[in-house]
Chain A
């Protein structure tokens, strides 16, 4: 019984982390689906969202729903700006140029924001506008932070599902990810749809940033690097380009990381995720939900 309770508890810990990874992975996967670009700067937009949350709560004392809305807006704007300034001019360029540019944007965001006039390179305590409480449920204890993370993630995923599968813009996104030329022939406004994709993806990352800040209350301009890499691996694991792949991948990576920490040693947690990436690329590069490449 003890073992079951312990395992379930660790599972919840893993899902908590995985939920945040899923939100970030959504951004990676959506941008890849539409542009075939791995936006390495995505982890830093996640960091930006966390900082926006910090300012909203700590400096301006705004209510929680407003905090989320502002973070979503700010990250969406940043995402669209990045796209317009750094990626759009390179639409016709070889893929490698886009990749290098993405890395450049990432470094720029990190080091520019680490200036003393901006966010400073210091570690900042992320405020919690509520007291932590734990609830006993059967064999496990869930904290209110975990409940917030699960509910906000679920809500975000639901809204995203409606957006992608029930709206015209969503249909345009899906069409674009199939075939850009044909979609534009069909009347899809390519530029607007790409911007829209970026905005939605980065908005999810912004939500993830605030949830991460609640769970692990210390933020720093370099906090997005590792979660960004792991979420990218999650997107690849689930099948890059597929929204449900990103979600499943994120949860799996989060749970694996926590289980390795719990049953082996915390020092292996990062290494294990990279091993997963190696295995996926070796044996199933299209990911769990990805279709096998058909050789014509």
Chain B
């Protein structure tokens, strides 16, 4: 009995040695992402990239990261609850995400209230970093914003697709969709195009026959669908069912392997704006793409690439200031310039938004084809 006890004590002492020897301070970083729900592929990509980023960081980083993931189900209430739990219960130092703008907007309010730095990889709506024209402190994003994205889409439609008439179908309850629709409309009309149909629908609408018939009657050259991939696929199918011949144009919400799975031939050939193309020739990008392919068997989409960038930005800033201090980190983030990320060179402007180029991709049967890059 006594021998066993002694052995147990020696074993316990041995186990504490690594703690003494390494002594890296532990920081908790939260990730808010839609693991389930209508856009779960975004969540899976983000989670995968998040873990890869942490593993890469810990090879040379000064801190040990304890990752905590919260599922927001692409629902603002769930996201807000998840954020509250991460902040108040798990006491995270910072948050990566949320992914979608509609969840990021309420969560950013919590970030400001509780003073937790938040870096979203992918939320593009203007309102994420600005409230009533004023900048929200502590909130940053590694991606471009929708005023830029919407105008890129419209310019592409006008110049490259040579469209004269356009129709827009958007989700009235989603700031992302609505914001993009408005920007596309104003840019398209400024470029002497005519918007012949500007129709809204609700998130849960399934029957688009009325809208499709309405739009078909106006015979637009291009139809702009700024929504998430599952809705876009459904609308595209119903458009093609009624033999609507317009070119379909979309935004980064289209980026998912499920888009073609659900939409099939209806969506193939459509164009969409995105944050990066996996065909990008760049050291950091190629390394990440190879790592992701090895671990998960598929090419990372923009959601993964941006989440990787957002996480790395956060962790490398943490290393720079060397202390898990919220104010130091936030100040250092505000000053971020020329960060070499997977998705490009990232600098935060005075609103915490990244100024970057956009790419146009075309949907193919397997993946997407790079078409062109449009600079800000």
Contact = CB atoms under 8 A, between A and B. Distances in A.
Chain B binds chain A: yes
Interface of A: 2, 6, 9-10, 13-14, 16-17, 121-123, 125, 132, 134, 141, 143, 145, 215-218, 220, 223, 226, 257-259, 261-262, 265-267, 269-270
Contacts of A10: 210, 213
A266 B38 contact: no
Contacts of B199: 265-266
Contacts of B217: 2, 6
Interface of B: 36-38, 40, 172, 199-202, 204-211, 213-214, 217, 230, 233-234, 237-238, 240-243, 261-262, 264
Given A132-B241, A267-B200, A269-B210, 14 more contacts: A10-B210, A16-B209, A121-B37, A123-B230, A141-B242, A141-B243, A143-B242, A215-B207, A216-B208, A217-B234, A218-B234, A218-B262, A220-B38, A262-B210
Contact of A125 (B172, B207, B211, B261): B261
A217 B206 CA distance: 9
A267 B202 CA distance: 6
B210 A134 contact: no
Q: Sorted from nearest, which 9 A-B pairs have the closest CB atoms?
A: A261-B210, A13-B209, A125-B262, A262-B210, A266-B201, A258-B210, A216-B206, A218-B234, A132-B241
B40 A262 contact: no
Contacts of A216: 206-208, 234, 238
A143 B201 contact: no
A254 to B, nearest CB: 9
Among B200, B230, B241, find the residue whose CB has the most chain A CB atoms closer than 10 A.
Answer: B241
B207 A258 contact: yes
Dominant secondary structure at the A interface: helix
B202 A270 contact: yes
Contacts of B38: 122-123, 220
A257 B214 CA distance: 14
A145 B241 contact: yes
A256 to B, nearest CB: 11
Contacts of B241: 132, 134, 143, 145
Among A17, A134, A223, A261, find the residue whose CB has the most chain B CB atoms closer than 10 A.
Answer: A261
